[in-house]
Amino acid sequence: MKAAVIVFPGSNCDRDMMVGIEHSLGRKPEMVWHKETELPDVDFIAVPGGFSYGDYLRCGAMSAHSPIMREVVKKANQGVRVLGVCNGFQILTEAGLLPGVLMRNAKLRFICKDVHLKVENAETEFTNKYSAGQAIRVPVAHHDGNFFADDETLAALEGNGQVAFRYCDAAGNVTDEANINGSRNNIAGILNEKKNVLGMMPHPERLCDTQLGGTDGKPMFDALVEALS
Protein backbone atom coordinates (compact mmCIF):
# COMPACT_ATOMS: atom_id res chain seq x y z
CA MET A 1 0.00 0.00 0.00
CA LYS A 2 1.22 3.47 -0.89
CA ALA A 3 -0.38 5.89 1.56
CA ALA A 4 -0.54 9.64 1.96
CA VAL A 5 -1.88 11.83 4.76
CA ILE A 6 -3.06 15.32 3.82
CA VAL A 7 -1.99 18.11 6.18
CA PHE A 8 -4.00 21.32 6.39
CA PRO A 9 -3.20 24.36 8.50
CA GLY A 10 -4.86 23.41 11.77
CA SER A 11 -4.79 19.64 11.23
CA ASN A 12 -3.81 18.11 14.55
CA CYS A 13 -4.36 14.39 14.12
CA ASP A 14 -2.00 14.16 11.15
CA ARG A 15 0.78 12.63 13.24
CA ASP A 16 -1.67 10.28 14.98
CA MET A 17 -2.90 9.11 11.58
CA MET A 18 0.65 8.63 10.38
CA VAL A 19 1.47 6.50 13.43
CA GLY A 20 -1.80 4.56 13.10
CA ILE A 21 -1.06 3.70 9.49
CA GLU A 22 2.55 2.87 10.33
CA HIS A 23 1.41 0.29 12.91
CA SER A 24 -0.20 -1.75 10.11
CA LEU A 25 1.96 -0.79 7.16
CA GLY A 26 5.37 -0.98 8.78
CA ARG A 27 6.49 2.31 7.27
CA LYS A 28 5.43 5.92 7.35
CA PRO A 29 2.92 7.30 4.85
CA GLU A 30 3.79 10.42 2.87
CA MET A 31 2.68 13.67 4.48
CA VAL A 32 1.27 16.06 1.85
CA TRP A 33 0.92 19.80 2.57
CA HIS A 34 -2.40 21.27 1.48
CA LYS A 35 -0.79 23.85 -0.81
CA GLU A 36 0.59 21.06 -3.04
CA THR A 37 -1.21 20.74 -6.32
CA GLU A 38 -0.21 17.18 -7.08
CA LEU A 39 -0.44 13.97 -5.11
CA PRO A 40 2.28 11.36 -5.12
CA ASP A 41 1.40 7.99 -6.66
CA VAL A 42 -0.78 6.54 -3.90
CA ASP A 43 -3.58 4.04 -3.49
CA PHE A 44 -4.73 5.24 -0.06
CA ILE A 45 -5.31 8.81 1.11
CA ALA A 46 -6.16 9.75 4.68
CA VAL A 47 -7.67 13.12 5.55
CA PRO A 48 -6.96 13.50 9.27
CA GLY A 49 -8.78 15.20 12.12
CA GLY A 50 -8.15 18.56 13.64
CA PHE A 51 -9.41 22.08 13.24
CA SER A 52 -8.35 22.91 9.70
CA TYR A 53 -8.59 26.68 9.24
CA GLY A 54 -9.75 26.84 12.84
CA ASP A 55 -13.18 25.53 11.87
CA TYR A 56 -13.86 29.11 10.80
CA LEU A 57 -16.80 29.68 8.49
CA ARG A 58 -17.93 26.03 8.82
CA CYS A 59 -15.99 22.89 9.73
CA GLY A 60 -14.12 21.65 6.70
CA ALA A 61 -15.51 24.31 4.37
CA MET A 62 -12.25 26.16 3.73
CA SER A 63 -10.11 23.03 3.46
CA ALA A 64 -12.45 21.59 0.87
CA HIS A 65 -11.22 24.37 -1.39
CA SER A 66 -7.50 23.85 -0.75
CA PRO A 67 -5.45 23.19 -3.88
CA ILE A 68 -4.74 19.57 -2.90
CA MET A 69 -8.42 18.71 -2.51
CA ARG A 70 -9.01 18.95 -6.26
CA GLU A 71 -6.48 16.14 -6.58
CA VAL A 72 -8.02 14.13 -3.76
CA VAL A 73 -11.44 14.35 -5.43
CA LYS A 74 -9.93 13.32 -8.75
CA LYS A 75 -8.20 10.31 -7.22
CA ALA A 76 -11.30 9.31 -5.29
CA ASN A 77 -13.29 9.37 -8.49
CA GLN A 78 -10.64 7.10 -10.04
CA GLY A 79 -11.22 4.60 -7.24
CA VAL A 80 -8.36 5.43 -4.86
CA ARG A 81 -9.36 4.65 -1.26
CA VAL A 82 -9.95 7.74 0.83
CA LEU A 83 -10.52 7.79 4.58
CA GLY A 84 -11.67 10.95 6.32
CA VAL A 85 -11.69 10.95 10.11
CA CYS A 86 -13.42 13.60 12.21
CA ASN A 87 -12.51 16.94 10.60
CA GLY A 88 -11.46 14.79 7.63
CA PHE A 89 -15.03 13.47 7.40
CA GLN A 90 -16.32 17.05 7.52
CA ILE A 91 -13.93 18.01 4.73
CA LEU A 92 -15.03 15.07 2.55
CA THR A 93 -18.70 16.09 2.88
CA GLU A 94 -17.82 19.71 2.10
CA ALA A 95 -15.84 18.52 -0.93
CA GLY A 96 -18.85 16.56 -2.17
CA LEU A 97 -17.23 13.13 -1.88
CA LEU A 98 -19.75 12.06 0.72
CA PRO A 99 -23.38 13.11 1.25
CA GLY A 100 -24.85 14.79 4.32
CA VAL A 101 -23.43 17.30 6.78
CA LEU A 102 -21.98 17.23 10.27
CA MET A 103 -23.80 19.63 12.54
CA ARG A 104 -23.06 20.78 16.07
CA ASN A 105 -23.47 17.98 18.65
CA ALA A 106 -27.01 17.77 20.00
CA LYS A 107 -25.84 18.75 23.49
CA LEU A 108 -23.71 21.55 22.03
CA ARG A 109 -20.58 20.40 23.82
CA PHE A 110 -17.29 18.92 22.69
CA ILE A 111 -17.17 15.20 23.53
CA CYS A 112 -14.00 13.19 24.02
CA LYS A 113 -14.48 9.59 25.15
CA ASP A 114 -14.44 6.00 24.02
CA VAL A 115 -17.67 4.97 22.31
CA HIS A 116 -18.87 1.73 20.79
CA LEU A 117 -19.59 1.35 17.11
CA LYS A 118 -21.65 -1.33 15.47
CA VAL A 119 -20.06 -2.48 12.23
CA GLU A 120 -22.91 -2.26 9.73
CA ASN A 121 -21.08 -3.12 6.55
CA ALA A 122 -18.19 -5.55 6.97
CA GLU A 123 -17.74 -6.17 3.27
CA THR A 124 -15.62 -3.21 2.31
CA GLU A 125 -11.87 -2.89 2.00
CA PHE A 126 -11.96 -0.73 5.14
CA THR A 127 -14.05 -3.02 7.31
CA ASN A 128 -13.64 -6.62 6.17
CA LYS A 129 -11.51 -7.54 9.15
CA TYR A 130 -14.48 -6.84 11.40
CA SER A 131 -17.59 -8.98 11.41
CA ALA A 132 -21.01 -7.57 10.61
CA GLY A 133 -22.81 -6.52 13.77
CA GLN A 134 -19.61 -6.53 15.84
CA ALA A 135 -19.33 -3.76 18.45
CA ILE A 136 -15.91 -2.11 18.43
CA ARG A 137 -14.56 0.49 20.84
CA VAL A 138 -13.16 3.66 19.29
CA PRO A 139 -12.66 7.18 20.73
CA VAL A 140 -14.50 10.27 19.57
CA ALA A 141 -13.30 13.84 20.01
CA HIS A 142 -15.50 16.38 18.30
CA HIS A 143 -17.84 19.32 18.63
CA ASP A 144 -19.59 18.91 15.29
CA GLY A 145 -20.32 15.27 14.64
CA ASN A 146 -24.09 15.27 14.43
CA PHE A 147 -24.69 13.61 11.06
CA PHE A 148 -27.63 14.94 9.12
CA ALA A 149 -28.99 13.99 5.71
CA ASP A 150 -32.46 14.47 4.25
CA ASP A 151 -34.88 11.54 4.18
CA GLU A 152 -34.18 10.66 0.58
CA THR A 153 -30.39 10.65 1.04
CA LEU A 154 -30.72 8.69 4.24
CA ALA A 155 -32.88 6.06 2.55
CA ALA A 156 -30.31 5.74 -0.20
CA LEU A 157 -27.44 5.38 2.30
CA GLU A 158 -29.33 2.70 4.19
CA GLY A 159 -30.47 0.92 1.03
CA ASN A 160 -27.04 0.79 -0.60
CA GLY A 161 -25.13 -0.49 2.40
CA GLN A 162 -23.38 2.86 2.69
CA VAL A 163 -23.72 3.06 6.46
CA ALA A 164 -20.41 1.74 7.77
CA PHE A 165 -20.76 2.33 11.51
CA ARG A 166 -23.45 3.30 14.01
CA TYR A 167 -23.10 4.42 17.61
CA CYS A 168 -24.18 1.59 19.90
CA ASP A 169 -23.75 0.36 23.45
CA ALA A 170 -21.08 -2.11 24.54
CA ALA A 171 -23.34 -5.02 23.62
CA GLY A 172 -23.94 -3.69 20.12
CA ASN A 173 -27.45 -2.33 20.68
CA VAL A 174 -28.15 0.79 18.65
CA THR A 175 -29.94 2.96 21.21
CA ASP A 176 -30.81 6.63 21.62
CA GLU A 177 -28.65 6.72 24.72
CA ALA A 178 -25.63 5.55 22.74
CA ASN A 179 -26.19 8.24 20.13
CA ILE A 180 -23.70 10.68 21.64
CA ASN A 181 -24.16 13.55 19.23
CA GLY A 182 -27.70 13.23 17.87
CA SER A 183 -26.78 11.78 14.46
CA ARG A 184 -29.64 10.57 12.30
CA ASN A 185 -30.00 6.79 12.55
CA ASN A 186 -27.01 6.79 14.97
CA ILE A 187 -24.72 7.12 11.98
CA ALA A 188 -21.03 7.38 12.87
CA GLY A 189 -19.50 6.61 9.49
CA ILE A 190 -20.62 6.41 5.88
CA LEU A 191 -19.28 5.20 2.55
CA ASN A 192 -19.75 6.61 -0.92
CA GLU A 193 -21.69 4.54 -3.45
CA LYS A 194 -18.56 2.88 -4.85
CA LYS A 195 -17.40 2.11 -1.26
CA ASN A 196 -13.91 3.48 -1.84
CA VAL A 197 -14.46 6.57 0.31
CA LEU A 198 -15.18 6.29 4.04
CA GLY A 199 -15.88 9.19 6.36
CA MET A 200 -16.28 8.68 10.11
CA MET A 201 -16.33 10.87 13.21
CA PRO A 202 -14.65 8.38 15.59
CA HIS A 203 -10.87 8.01 15.48
CA PRO A 204 -9.73 4.46 14.64
CA GLU A 205 -6.11 5.67 14.58
CA ARG A 206 -6.32 6.41 18.31
CA LEU A 207 -6.78 2.79 19.30
CA CYS A 208 -4.16 0.83 17.42
CA ASP A 209 -1.80 0.33 20.34
CA THR A 210 -2.24 -1.74 23.51
CA GLN A 211 -0.35 0.89 25.51
CA LEU A 212 -3.12 3.36 24.69
CA GLY A 213 -5.77 0.98 25.98
CA GLY A 214 -6.98 -0.91 22.93
CA THR A 215 -6.50 -1.99 19.33
CA ASP A 216 -10.02 -2.01 17.92
CA GLY A 217 -8.99 0.58 15.32
CA LYS A 218 -6.14 -1.46 13.92
CA PRO A 219 -8.13 -4.00 11.83
CA MET A 220 -9.22 -1.13 9.58
CA PHE A 221 -5.64 -0.30 8.63
CA ASP A 222 -4.71 -3.99 8.47
CA ALA A 223 -7.59 -4.53 6.05
CA LEU A 224 -6.47 -1.66 3.82
CA VAL A 225 -2.87 -2.85 3.80
CA GLU A 226 -4.01 -6.36 2.85
CA ALA A 227 -6.37 -5.13 0.12
CA LEU A 228 -3.78 -2.83 -1.39
CA SER A 229 -0.72 -5.07 -1.29
Per 3-state DSSP, the chain is made up of helix, strand and coil in percentages (nearest 5) of 30, 25, 45
DSSP class per residue in 98-167: S-SEEEPPTTSS-EEEEEEEEES---STTTTTS-TT-EEEEEEEES--EEE--HHHHHHHHHTT-EEEEE
List the one residue from 56, 79, 106, 155 that touches other proteins (CB under 8 A): 56
Supply the Cα-derived Rg of the chain in whole angstroms.
Answer: 16
List the one residue from 2, 58, 104, 143 that touches other proteins (CB under 8 A): 143
Smallest gap from Cβ 75 to other proteins, in A, equals 24
Q: Which of 13, 86, 168, 208 is catalytic?
A: 86
SS3 57: coil
- Using CB under 8 A as the binding rule, whether residue 139 contacts other proteins is answered as yes
- Using CB under 8 A as the binding rule, whether residue 75 contacts other proteins is answered as no
Interface stretch with other proteins, choices 53-61, 77-85, 120-128, 167-175 (CB under 8 A): 53-61
Active site residue 205: yes
Query: Given the rule CB under 8 A, which residues bind other proteins?
Result: 9-10, 12-13, 15-16, 19-20, 49-51, 53-56, 109-113, 139, 141, 143, 203, 205-206, 209, 211-213
Which positions are annotated as active-site residues?
Answer: 86, 203, 205
